[in-house]
């Protein structure tokens, strides 16, 4: 009985400490990011990925076969004007319609969710390419939220015994909406999972295979391109199986001959988002490589 009391008291003490820690983090980040706040409750992802979250289509009057873009804020063009973004420049340089379904702060899970739920324009006429723009943090986003104040994480997928990716739940659960969960989950990734390249590649390959199956249900002749922003060797990626399966794997530094992770191609010292100048280098090389 005494042991049970000791355990019970220690559990209460731990809950108290976590509560204090949660309050400290809450006030710290509320002052730092005043627009961030709790969203306590189940958040359906389908309500978050609405059309107003996407860039408008560009070049819809062009007669060539269209291009679909997926990805995060890099592909979306966070902090850039519309005419400075990947989608806008790609449409004008290639003379093709471009439909950009990249979402800021998101990753591979959300791209698959968009395709599975047909949140794109299904009336697009015979697109030739779907391009997923991948950057290194998409690996971390397989396991934890994008940032401390992001309470709209990622659809929860799991891999079955056959290596296929399956949707586990389509809402963001309450327990993940606390700063303490994010804090310790991120520490777990940083110190335990970060170098587990075998696990990362298992998930990444499964996601892309499923995305490819999904988009080809709607557009059977489409080609899937994975555009890696930066050097894939720094990510620990092994996409050789995807290449054998017909994916086109391109790296920005390889096709452009320029290291685009240099400071002059980033928005600021602390913000690695691509500048307009970065896309001005990438797009001609991309168009040339894909023969657009």
Query: Based on the domain organization, do 111 and 28 belong to the same domain?
Result: no
More confident residue, 57 or 51: 57
pLDDT on residue 37? 65
Please check the confidence at residue 28 and state whether its pLDDT lies above 90: no
Give pLDDT tens digits for 140-195.
Answer: 999 887 665 555 678 999 999 888 999 999 888 888 888 888 889 889 999 999 99
d(CA 160, CA 9): 40
DSSP codes of every residue in 8-62: HHHHHHHHHHHHHHHHHHHHHHHHHSTT-----S-EEHHHHS-GGGSPPPB-TT-
More confident residue, 177 or 103: 103
Query: Based on the domain organization, do 186 and 256 belong to the same domain?
Result: yes
Q: Which domain holds residue 70?
A: 42-290
Strand (E) or helix (H) holding 286: helix 276-290
Query: Based on the domain organization, do 67 and 188 belong to the same domain?
Result: yes
Query: Based on the domain organization, do 30 and 75 belong to the same domain?
Result: no
Domain of 234, CATH number, reads 3.40.50.1110
pLDDT average, residue stretch 89-111: 95
The pLDDT mean for the chain works out to 90
Residues found in the chain: 292
Residue-wise over 48-84: b if at least 16 C-beta within 10 A, else e?
Answer: bbeeebbbebbbeeeeebbbbbbbbbbbbbbebeeeb
Helices and strands in the chain: count of H runs, count of E runs: 11, 9
Query: Based on the domain organization, do 141 and 281 belong to the same domain?
Result: yes
The number of distinct structural domains making up the chain is 2
d(CA 117, CA 70): 14
Query: Based on the domain organization, do 46 and 31 belong to the same domain?
Result: no
Query: Based on the domain organization, do 89 and 178 belong to the same domain?
Result: yes
pLDDT on residue 31? 74
Query: Based on the domain organization, do 160 and 236 belong to the same domain?
Result: yes
Query: Based on the domain organization, do 59 and 140 belong to the same domain?
Result: yes
Strand (E) or helix (H) holding 115: helix 108-116
Query: Based on the domain organization, do 1 and 85 belong to the same domain?
Result: no
Give pLDDT tens digits for 229-285.
Answer: 987 777 888 999 999 999 999 999 999 999 998 999 999 988 899 999 999 999 999
Query: Based on the domain organization, do 52 and 26 belong to the same domain?
Result: no
Query: Based on the domain organization, do 228 and 267 belong to the same domain?
Result: yes
């Amino acid at each position: 009985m005494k042991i049970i009391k000791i355990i019970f008291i220690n559990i209460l003490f731990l809950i108290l400490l976590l509560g204090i820690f949660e309050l400290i983090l809450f006030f710290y980040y509320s002052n730092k990011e005043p627009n961030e706040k709790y969203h306590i409750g189940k958040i359906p992802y389908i309500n978050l990925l609405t059309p107003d979250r996407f860039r408008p289509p560009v070049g819809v009057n062009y007669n060539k076969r269209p291009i679909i873009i997926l990805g995060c804020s890099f592909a979306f063009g966070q902090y850039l004007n519309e005419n400075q973004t990947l989608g806008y420049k790609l449409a004008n340089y290639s003379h093709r319609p471009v439909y950009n379904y990249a979402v800021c702060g998101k990753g591979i899970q959300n791209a698959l969710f968009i395709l599975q739920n047909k949140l794109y324009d299904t009336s697009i006429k015979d697109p030739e390419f779907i391009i997923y723009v991948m950057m290194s943090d998409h690996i971390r986003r397989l396991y934890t939220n994008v940032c401390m104040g992001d309470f709209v994480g990622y659809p929860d997928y799991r891999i079955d015994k056959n290596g296929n990716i399956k949707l586990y739940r389509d809402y963001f659960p309450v327990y993940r909406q606390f700063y303490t969960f994010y804090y310790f989950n991120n520490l777990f990734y940083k110190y335990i999972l970060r170098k587990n390249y075998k696990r990362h590649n298992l998930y990444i390959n499964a996601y892309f295979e499923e995305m490819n199956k999904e988009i080809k249900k709607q557009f059977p002749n489409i080609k899937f391109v994975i555009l890696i922003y930066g050097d894939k060797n720094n990510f620990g990626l092994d996409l050789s199986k995807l290449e054998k399966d017909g994916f086109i794997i391109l790296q920005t530094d390889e096709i452009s001959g320029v290291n685009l992770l240099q400071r002059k191609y980033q928005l600021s010292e602390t913000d690695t988002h691509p500048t307009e100048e970065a896309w001005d280098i990438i797009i001609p090389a991309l168009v040339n490589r894909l023969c657009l």
